[in-house]
Amino acid sequence: MDLILCHTTADFDALGAAVGLTRLLSGSKIVLTGGSHPTVRDFLALHRDEYPLIERRSVNPEKIRSLTVVDTQQRDRLGKAAEWLDLLSLKEIIVYDHHLGQESDIPATRSHIDSVGATTTLIVEQLQQQEISLTPAEATVMALGIHVDTGSLTYDQSTPRDALALAWLMQQGASLSVISTYRDPGLSLQLQQLLTEALENLEYICLRGYTVAWVTLKTEAFVPELSSLASELVELTEIDALLLANEYPLGEEDSRLIVIGRSQIPKTNLNLLFQLLGGGGHSQAASLNLRGVDSQAILKQLLDGIKVQIPHPLTARDLMSSPVRTILPETTIAEAQRILLRYGHSGLFVVDTQGQLVGIISRRDIDIALHHGFSHAPVKGYMTKNLKTITPDTTLPQIESLMVTYDIGRLPVLENEQLMGIVTRTDVLRELHQERDEDQEGEQKFKIQNDAHRLANAALTKSKIPLSTELQNRLAPQLWQLLTTASQEAEKRGWHLYLVGGAVRDLLLTEAVAGTLMIKDIDLVVDGFHKSADVGAGVELAKALQQLYPMARSEIHGAFQTAALLWHKDPELDSLWVDIATARTEFYPYPAANPEVEASSIRQDLYRRDFTINALALRLTSPRTGELLDFFGGLLDLQAKQIRVLHANSFIEDPTRIFRGVRFAVRFGFQIEPQTEEFIRYAINSGVYDRTAQENSRTPALQTRLKTELKHILEASYWKSALQLLDNLEALQCIHPTLKLDAELLRQLRLLESCLRRFDPQPTLIHWEMRLEALIAHLAPQYRAKVAKNLQLQEDGVKRLQNLASAQTEVMESLPKCQSPSQVMQLLRQYDLPILILIAVQSPRSLRHQIWEYLTVWANVQPLLNGNDLKKLGYKPGPQYRQILDDILAATLDGVIKDKTEAEEFLAQHYPK
């Protein structure tokens, strides 16, 4: 006999999951181990015959073969049926549940526990996989289970999986009218009376902008459906959290206490609080059932726990961007428009000479003035003067209320009448609607694609990573200590510190054994203008860290407001590069130039970056340690495995981003998002790079920075795939307009790899530079040296490419005429290994074979006599030694002499004393 056990006082989720399992486990029966909720009882009064339900008392324990437990992991919630878990005859015990973070005392042989809104959802997914159809009655009760446990998909624990499960159940014929009847049956007469009593006796406390209420109801006996009463109270009073206690006697000196909790306060976790007292549930809804306790003491303990959990409300200081671009009232409309264009703002604040705010002018105001021909007019004639303002301590709810009441899109933040920052409608909406999950311990989680070791799998595996603990759990301890020290130094100065860019991306993508992840390249950003930071904050922090880590070498780049700390083969940190920058924005004066940078905020710093997956930041400083900033959908793009650019003009301003995007795409196995690919092709085909190079003597993005990106690509294992993708995008034109990865160049690159493996196995040459030289060598001879100089190759590389054509001509004309190995040796030994390799890969097979034989055989042959031998034979040292040894070597190569005796005879014949 295979049994499915529902927990005591079974709800619709337990019943729905059990019904679904009877289709997965053919012939199994459902046992309600200890009654059901009144609404479930009413439902079964009409529909019991539709499902394979049996009474516990009718079960013969000796015939039980397997047990499947749904919607719980605690044996004490199975009533007397828990005794069956200890039967020796059991072949299997399976658990299905959706409550994470609970310690199970059921000896399960298999468990299916996942973070979804309802256990029924897990069963639906397995039914879909096995293509099992349901009857309308089965689909209806399962749909009820998901509706009730997710609040019809409105509770925070609801997931897209629950919605998909409901959609499938509707396709299977779930009755909406039946669901409507039993999902919200209304309050019984007894509950209505208790509702009136509760409303009269409800106690409140307001803390950090949230209202918490509690009430104790004393009754003569157990009251069913108290959870419905709790929900009704929350809805009627619009409170943020509720503790509803019900106490009733069990005898003269004993009593029972039931507490039901509800919370709509972000980051609170009732499940964690109630578990401490033997209860449990979800983060927003939990309950407990105790006997013989002090009800008021229990209520106080829970209330104190909620107070501790309530987060400090966000303030303008947390939300605002700073510093703010300002102009004077006398600034012309034309200049204001230029500033808007440069920084991408939608408006500018106007301040007087004392720095006090006097107005704001929007892009629309400027456009209208320009339309009417007033580009020369001062902005003071067009600005709005009556402004609503806030302080750094204004809370998020207050900011939201101001924006809604007055339909304001941006609010200036003033402190001591000085403009400190700006909060926009976008800032508020992003904070209110940022998608995030809370785990069972209150840790912040984000859904990401975690597939570093699953790239070969067709299915995508999603997991949740608690970022506030992930760094400490996964990073090597010494690296975690460095980041902790850096954050402490930043906090001392009143600054925020963020881990940004590639390190965050790689942390999200990479699976690692706990405590082993050692990131080699770390970018940190200091943001704190609203506190005390200035443009040199990043440099100051770097200097402070170097005092604590004297083994690190520092580099300061004043023009870019950055500093770097470098460790080389350090006993603990190995070779590590840490860049520390002040949050900044940038502007490109012309395409392919170096950007001009200015101090800014973390939001603007992330906005200036290349791709969404690199525009992620993880806050290292309190009070919101572990908060992930994702303003541009980088996490979604990680999930979708795509490279998406942040700005339409990004590739026009900086062509190296094309190469970087290709590198990331190939490295991670991602696709370049279609519109991003369109932007790439538009930038290349626009001719902007050619025009820029002609008009400007310095174009770093087509010179040094392009060389750096080529280095990253050509020294990676995936360099061939990257070159092929670059060619497909026609991006090799950035090196030279005529460069294409045609069949001949591909052949040459394959030959190059063979040469490097054969002739330079213990690399003495720089292989990525040789690959780059091979690319340049494929160009017409007149372009090679110019391109090499433009990319600032090393001097010997430039000379090699400059002389390659003449050397190749000489070799191709002379080598076929060589009649002996010595003549080949005489011709080829004037060239070094790199140029011979470049000549070989471009030569016909016959010539390449001769060069190959020279490098593998003849170049390694030594003369049978050396200088000491000549001296012993009586030859006086002098210039003739070289000629003698060369002739002996030639004779050896050509087979004229074969041993030392023949060499001495050859010497006596040709060089008599």
pLDDT digits (tens, 9 = 90+) for 193-230: 998 999 999 999 988 878 999 999 999 999 888 888 99
Question: Pick the residue with more confidence: 391 or 694?
Answer: 391
> SS3 for 574?
strand
Q: Which of 184, 179, 219 is nearest to 198 (CA)?
A: 219
Q: What is the mean pLDDT of residues 169-173?
A: 95
At 884 the pLDDT is: 85
Q: Helices marked H in 422-572 — which ranges?
A: 425-433, 467-474, 477-492, 502-509, 537-548
pLDDT of residue 789 exceeding 80, the answer is yes
Place of tokens 């019904």: 19
295-302 — which CB contacts under 8 Å span 24+ positions?
Answer: 295/216, 295/245, 295/247, 295/255, 295/257, 296/216, 298/245, 298/257, 298/259, 299/214, 299/216, 299/243, 299/245, 299/259, 301/277, 302/243, 302/259, 302/261, 302/273, 302/274, 302/277
Percentage of the chain beyond pLDDT 90 is: 48
Residues in the chain: 913
What's the rounded mean pLDDT across residues 103-120?
A: 92
How high is the mean pLDDT of the chain?
86
Place of tokens 């299997």: 92
In which band, very low, low, confident or very high, does the pLDDT at 596 lie, cut at 50, 70 and 90? Answer: low
Mean pLDDT score, 620-638: 85
pLDDT digits (tens, 9 = 90+) for 734-748: 999 999 999 999 999
Provide CB contacts within 8 A for 540, sequence distance 6+. Answer: 493
The 8 Å CB, 24+ separation contacts for 407-415 are 409/346, 410/346, 410/347, 410/360, 411/316, 412/324, 412/349, 412/357, 412/360, 412/387, 413/316, 413/317, 413/320, 413/322, 413/389, 413/530, 414/357, 414/389, 414/390, 415/391
CA dist 698 → 246, 560, 790 (Å): 78, 17, 10
- 287 bridge partner residues: 260, 280
Mean pLDDT of 261-284: 88
Q: What is the DSSP string of 315-381?
A: BHHHH-B-SPPEE-TT-BHHHHHHHHHHHT-SEEEEE-TTS-EEEEEEHHHHHHHHHTT-TTSBGGG
- Beta carbons of 497 and 621 less than 8 angstroms apart: yes
Quick one: which H or E segment has residue 501? Answer: none
**Does residue 442 have a pLDDT over 70?**
no
H or E element at residue 586: strand 584-587
Assess contact for 328 and 350: CB atoms under 8 A.
yes
Strand 241-249 with 574-582, pairing: unpaired
Amino acid at 883: Q
SS3 428: helix
Residue 658 CA to residue 282 CA, distance in Å, equals: 46
Check the CA dihedral 807-808-813-815 and report its sign. positive
Residue 483 CB partners (closer than 8 Å, separation 6+): 471, 475, 499, 522, 620
- In terms of phi and psi (left: phi > 0; alpha: psi -120 to 50; beta: otherwise), the region of 818 is beta
Neighbours of 35 (CB within 10 A): 14
What mean pLDDT do residues 899-905 have? 86
Helix axes 704-714, 767-777, angle to 10 degrees: 110
* pLDDT at residue 59, rounded to an integer: 93
251-255, 296-300, 515-519, 819-823, range with the lowest pLDDT:
515-519
Q: What is the pTM of this model?
A: 0.63
Look at residues 659, 664, 660 and name the one whose alpha carbon lies nearest to residue 642. Answer: 664
Distance CA 165, CA 121 (A): 6
CB hemisphere CA count around 126 (13 angstroms): 14
Does residue 263 sit in helix, strand or coil?
strand
Contact by Cβ (8 Å): 498, 554: no
The residue with greater pLDDT, 476 or 462, is: 476
Percent above pLDDT 70 for the chain:
91
What pLDDT is stored for residue 439 in this prediction? 37
Q: Where residue 528 falls among pLDDT bands split at 50, 70, 90?
A: low
Q: pLDDT value at position 582?
A: 85
Longest CA span, the chain:
133
Highest mean pLDDT among 522-531, 791-800, 889-898: 791-800
Q: Which of 140-149, 497-506, 774-783 has the lowest mean pLDDT?
A: 497-506
Given a cut of 60, whether residue 467 has pLDDT beyond it is no
Tokens of 492: 């001392």
**What confidence tens digit (pLDDT) does each residue in 293-327 have?**
999 999 999 999 999 998 877 888 888 877 788 89
Alpha-carbon gap, residue 500 to 427, rounded angstroms: 19
For the residues 23-32, what does the mean pLDDT come to?
Answer: 94
Pairwise CA distance, residues 731 & 662, whole Å: 10
Alpha-carbon span 559 to 586, nearest angstrom:
12
The pLDDT tens digits of the residues spanning 557-588 come to 765 568 999 998 888 888 899 999 888 765 55
